[in-house]
Structure 1
């Protein structure tokens, strides 16, 4: 009974904390993007190659990779031209084909800017607020891969806002890429991917306080990582910010990840590292000025995200972050957190 009362008090405090921070009204309810990419029906009906194409909703990335490996170059190009949205989003398709397909799919859309200056777009889904995965570095040659999973208020329209610098997911990716390039910008050692591949909460409201969007995003993240390894990339390290930590926690047992790093995390929907059921190394960072510390770590009737991953009892490896400032300052150049992140991404941290 005493524990039950403490949980109820935590729920009440969580509600008041969220309301006091930004107000429930600021969090517009979002409908998550799920299912196969646009154009899947036409793809499934296509018999132009004289054979059935892999089901974009059910085919495992490994099967997709094997299918494309058996195609002639002309047949691969035919599929890019006929079904760019499917080829560009289908995990297991060779990287260069996905780049070409997404460049084609982006033309004439509000996101056409992403086709300029040789940008490498690994996924593009125009549904909802838009979803994007962009690669920084050479994914086909990289010895290590890092994937950054963002939190609330991230979509295709704002994931790369230049005025936000390292505080948005594209800025985090470029900063981490620079920090890992020990031998200059041409160093193929580590490729970094800004993965805006799920429907994120808007504002601080019920979507952010519950796990519905994370539950929809976790299978997408897990499949994305499996798609990387299916085409020969190394198992990636996942860097998960804020609500993105909830996504990573729910995907942990299915993701092909070498490391899972959470920072500014409200929780991972787990009480401990062992609950995540992953063989990846789990790391956690929280700086003293991060407001996320004021959010109660509860999980009750769907509200809250569980134990604080940065607490000693959770069992994650500690990432130093005393030099970072605020909820989104972990990639500030010169900080101890960025140095630690770079060492993890390079596979050098122990």
Structure 2
């Protein structure tokens, strides 16, 4: 039996090495996944005969093995990254304890014994600290070991008896969500694992797939997205410089200016030859990849329990992740115990990489519910964006974003409805459309959204093509509708314009309950341009009214 690490050995630990291991394993997972995909795409009609049969059987076996390794390494990368944080925190706390004990002139032996220590209290504290950090090490090692072994498949098992994941998901685009759910419910645990490992992109982003599988698949998708960005960072330097130049690096930066003869050639030469320009071009090329890696790693990070009921950290619950489609959907809180669920559809200038503010908004509602509220942040596609007020106004007037995203929100609402019903409890679902998100929500209601309550918060309108209450076609005939617009919010200038792109003013619609915005925490009136976002962020009267609608409790006037 291996002896337990000593104090000195633990002091020399470097938990940050787990992050490097995680990056390497994630990259390996992506490469194994690419190999499995390549093997699956082989043209089986190009080779026939006895040798072909043996060859295709071997290819199928290798494809299954590659999928297994992709699942193993992806899961191990997730656990190593989590382990780096958990063990790093425990290690730092232990080093702090040692430093505090030594600061008083005490000596600490390798076994944890402190001298002098007449009462034995200091020794007890060091022993306890050592046990804590060793327990963290044991938990991390166990999690990584389980990730590497539980995802593995016996090499000798037959692989032809189970349809390949690609074959399973190929039919999903033409199948109902109920049929997809039935198909998966008939699978064994091993078949589901293979499905997640073999087609994570489809599993993680298809309505009708059970949410636990979507979360598992998206952890693979996120790990592979990190690996893809790391591949970008690994490109040869001259390739990076060429890409930066093609993207406009150096435009207007000088060396004669772009407008003079030969200026472009001089800038190009400087970017390749001058050390300063060369470094700047490489940094410009790498900037977006670094930002994406940091953000994606955050999606894999554990977070404190948003319900506030415990000090434990929990993995994030990503229900959709597809940066190519600007899609990111996340569940916050515990749907197993929540008595109500809110779905937040944000407004313009929302992107995947700039979605942290929406997460904070959702988590505030969850925290206020103390376990009674769960929230979903919904980014179902690209939102209008504008780097300046003029461009922003033009983009916000474009209804095409709402028209494109609304059908996806309708489909997702069906999935939410099914998942909530599966809890066996009555959990009312409230959809909040903020700003441009109000137009998306209203358009989705026109197309058949399913909701118990809808709230149009500082909304651009009641929805594209919605000019009367009868234009809404919510599948719940008893849906309750609310609206909120703070006085002085500039959004009021465009709400309900005759022939406007986003439909009628929801504040004036029949059957819509108008929510007051009241006062801020400092007692001042919630009004003006800042109120546009503050109503969902500051714990004011307006914010409490939104929480009251979500929980079905009385609102403030």
Specify if TM > 0.5. yes
Which residue of structure 2 lines up, in the alignment, with residue 113 of structure 1?
298
Q: Which residue of 1 is the match for residue 398 of structure 2?
A: 210
Which residue is equivalent to 2:414?
226
Distance in 1 (CA, whole Å) between partners of 2:188 and 2:323 is 29
Aligned runs of 1:25-174 on 2, under 5 Å?
A: 49-50=162-163, 53=168, 55-107=171-223, 108-109=225-226, 110=292, 111-117=296-302, 118-128=315-325, 130-160=326-356, 168-174=357-363
Q: 1:142 to 1:66 in 2, by over 3 A?
A: farther
Shift of 1:349: 4.5
| Inter-partner Cα distance in structure 2 for 1:172 and 1:134 | 12
Alignment of 1:198-347 (within 5 A): 198-203=381-386, 204-231=392-419, 232=422, 234=427, 236-253=429-446, 254-269=448-463, 270-278=466-474, 279=477, 280-295=479-494, 297-298=496-497, 300=499, 303-311=500-508, 313-323=509-519, 324-325=526-527, 326-347=531-552
CA contact (8 A) 2:332 2:363 kept: yes
CA contact (8 A) 2:365 2:373 kept: no
Q: What are the superposed Cα offsets for residues 235-278 of structure 1, whole Å, 9 maximum, x if unpaired?
A: 52101101111111111142221111011112123223332122
TM-score (norm 1): 0.77
Q: Distance in 2 between matches of 1:56 and 1:349?
A: 43
CA RMSD of aligned residues (A): 2.5
Q: Indicate if the aligned counterparts of 2:449 and 2:473 stay in contact, CA closer than 8 A.
A: no
Which residues of structure 1 form unaligned runs of 5+? 1-38, 161-167, 182-186
Secondary structure of 2:460's counterpart equals coil
* Equivalent residues, number: 292
Q: What does 1:178-217 align with in structure 2 at a 5 Å threshold?
A: 178-181=367-370, 187=371, 189-203=372-386, 204-217=392-405
Residue 314 (structure 1) shift: 4.0
| C-alpha separation in 2, matches of 1:48 and 1:201 | 47
The whole-number CA distance in structure 2 between the counterparts of 1:226 and 1:281 is 18
Which residue of structure 1 aligns with residue 250 of structure 2? none
CA distance in 2, matches of 1:48, 1:148: 43
Separation in structure 2 between the aligned mates of residue 229 and residue 62 of structure 1, nearest angstrom: 12
Give, in angstroms, the shift of residue 344 of structure 1.
Answer: 1.4
SS at 1:331 equivalent: helix
- Comparing both chains, which one has the higher relative contact order based on Cα–Cα distances under 8 Å and sequence gaps of 6 or more? 1
Return closer, same or farther for 1:349/1:217 CA change in 2, 3 Å cut-off: farther
Worse-matched range after superposition: 233-242 or 222-231: 233-242
Call closer, same or farther: CA 1:100–1:332 in 2, change over 3 Å: same
Q: Using the TM superposition, name which of 44-53 and 332-341 deviates more.
A: 44-53
Change (3 A) 1:235 1:50: farther
Q: 1:215, CA displacement in angstroms? A: 0.7
How far the C-alpha of 1:77 sits from its partner, in A, is 0.7
**What residue number does 2:82 align with?**
none
Secondary structure, counterpart of 1:282 in structure 2: strand
| Residue equivalent to 1:22 | none
Say which SS state the counterpart of residue 283 (structure 1) adopts.
Answer: strand
The TM-score, its normalising length taken from structure 2, stands at: 0.49
Structure 1 outlier segments of 4+, above 6 Å: 44-48
Q: Is the 8 A contact 2:320 2:330 kept in 1?
A: yes
Judge conservation of contact 1:180–1:345 (CA < 8 Å) in 2. Answer: no
User: CA distance change for structure 1 residues 60 and 207 in 2, over 3 Å: closer, same or farther?
Assistant: farther
